Amino acid sequence: MKKNQKEKRQIYSSEFKADAIELAQEIGPKEAAEKLGIKNTQTLTTWIKHSSKMEHDDEYRDNEQLKAEVKQLKKELLKEKKITAILKDATAFFCQDLLK
């Protein structure tokens, strides 16, 4: 693969991750990754560690929930900024006749 070409990252759903973690606990991470077509076994072990921390560490769970909330709020803010910019442009367009 060339330097300029990046391999597209696979995005897995929460349900898939939960099922993969459950399977890995039954048959092991390496076998589960191979069976599910996950290219990197480390990906699955990272999910397992994250899941374990979410279950047992209240501070970690709260921190992750705050991160998710901040991400959602940033997304909403970006949407509102785009709407505001569109409304400003529309206002300027429709007010052109009034200023002449």
pTM: 0.62
Inform me whether the pLDDT recorded for 100 exceeds 80.
Answer: no
Reported as type and span, the H/E element at residue 95 is helix 58-99
CA distances from 93 to 1, 2, 87, 97 (A): 49, 47, 10, 8
pLDDT score of 82 more than 60 = yes
Give the pLDDT confidence of 16-40 residue by residue, as tens digits. 999 999 999 999 999 999 999 998 9
Q: In whole angstroms, give the CA distance from residue 81 to residue 59.
A: 33
